[in-house]
Amino acid sequence: MPAPTLDRQPAGSPDEAALQQQFAATIAADRRIEPRDWMPEGYRKTLVRQVAQHAHSEIIGMQPEGDWLLAAPSLRRKAVLLAKVQDEAGHGLYLYSAAETLGADRADLTDKLIEGRQKYSSIFNYPTPSYADVGVIGWLVDGAAICNQVPLCRSSYGPYARAMIRVCKEESFHQRQGYELLMTMMRGTDEQRAMVQESVDRWWWPSLMMFGPPDDESPNTAQSMAWGIKRHTNDELRQRFVDMTVPQAQFLGVTLPDPDLAWDEESGHWRFGAIDWEEFKRVLGGQGPMNDVRIARRRAARDDNAWVVEAATAHARKHEAVPA
């Protein structure tokens, strides 16, 4: 128990320097910032960008796998996929809630997404032509997301950290269902094994790109790490993902499409080949295979379902007007 302090803090509204000092002390002690705390404007804005774009990625992320909902090969696989896609919607909503505690507005964020003024992860701009893609997305894409997201459970911003704890618990199911699906296919026919390999060939490099440009091209990483809203650099997380995934690929019996992939005894890490950052920039810049489709569908979901929102509002108003 700390010694009792009998001298009272002087009352009165502290000036901005004192607030800044209090904020810095909270961060330095690895405690959490909560919505009604004073925070620097740059911290708030960076977090809104980060959380909103994370939310957008979850919502758009429903689409690539959602394409397989009606074509899944069994009732079991259909139920699993439906639960997974529903989780992605839930993750998006937890995150929009967190963004709203920072003064953002969910409907407005959706508009910004549809207008292309805010982005979502480039990974969702790739198509899913094969059912094996459902398994590979769970294994690689959700595996990469877990690498990114687990450290965010310790984000210095309380509502975001709490949302990430819920998300991470659920992502674990996503990755495992994907890996199990792939194991089942690998135990099947030659044709099924070829499907898995073909899908891995397409998704491996985009999965590595998910971690973002190399550290020397990420000038703001230092600030975000100082604020406790980013916990590891892009390259650190990418390396962690590769080290985690290579043994899983070996167990599965697939080949990762990188001739330079090699175990480095000295460092205890898997070394991998050069990433095509031009492709990353193209896809992020709107030139990916599915960018237009994703946004068009999100726009249609908003506009075509507007009547549901109106009907629910009208229903609520009607019941409000009738005395109980």
Partner 1 sequence: MSEVTAAGGHGAVPTGPEVPVEPRPRAVRRDWPLYEVFVRGKRGLNHVHVGSLHAPDAEMAVDAARDLYTRRNEGVSIWVVRAADITASSPDEKDPLFAPSGDKVYRHPTFYEIPDGVPHI
- Which parts of 73-112 interact with partner 1 (CB under 8 A)? 83, 86-87, 90, 93-95, 97, 100, 103-109, 111-112
φ/ψ (deg, to 5) at 264 = -110, 105
Q: 117 vs 268, which CB is nearer to partner 1?
A: 117
Query: CA-CA distance, 211 to 257, in Å (whole number)?
Result: 18
| Residue 37 DSSP class | S
**How would DSSP label each residue in 99-119?**
HHTTT--HHHHHHHHHTTSS-
Q: 194 vs 276, which CB is nearer to partner 1?
A: 276
Residues 122-181 that bind partner 1 (CB under 8 A): 122-124, 141, 144-145, 148-149, 152, 162-164, 167, 170
Site string for partner 1, 9-38 (x = CB under 8 A): x-x----------------------xxxx-
Number of residues that bind partner 1 (CB under 8 A): 86
- What's the N-to-C CA distance of the chain in angstroms? 53
190-209 and 234-252 are packed helices; what angle lies between their axes, rounded to 10 degrees? 170
Decide: is 54 part of the binding site for partner 1 (CB under 8 A): yes
Contact pick of 20, 40, 49, 158 for partner 1 (by CB under 8 A): 49
Query: CA-CA distance, 62 to 196, in Å (whole number)?
Result: 21
Interacting span for partner 1 (CB under 8 A) from 74-82, 116-124, 130-138, 192-200 = 116-124
Contact pick of 63, 200, 280, 288 for partner 1 (by CB under 8 A): 280
- Report in angstroms how near the CB of residue 190 gets to partner 1 at its nearest: 33
- Report in angstroms how near the CB of residue 192 gets to partner 1 at its nearest: 28
Q: 121 vs 291, which CB is nearer to partner 1?
A: 121
Residues 245-264 that bind partner 1 (CB under 8 A): none
Decide: is 218 part of the binding site for partner 1 (CB under 8 A): yes
Q: Rounded to whole angstroms, what are the CA distances from 155 to 31, 162, 212?
A: 10, 9, 19
Query: CA-CA distance, 36 to 212, in Å (whole number)?
Result: 31
Decide: is 243 part of the binding site for partner 1 (CB under 8 A): no
**How would DSSP label each residue in 202-259?**
HHHHHHHHTT-S-GGG-TTHHHHHHTTS--S-HHHHHHHHHHHHHHHHHHHT---S-T
Residues 221-240 that bind partner 1 (CB under 8 A): 221, 224, 229-230, 234, 237
Q: 144 vs 195, which CB is nearer to partner 1?
A: 144
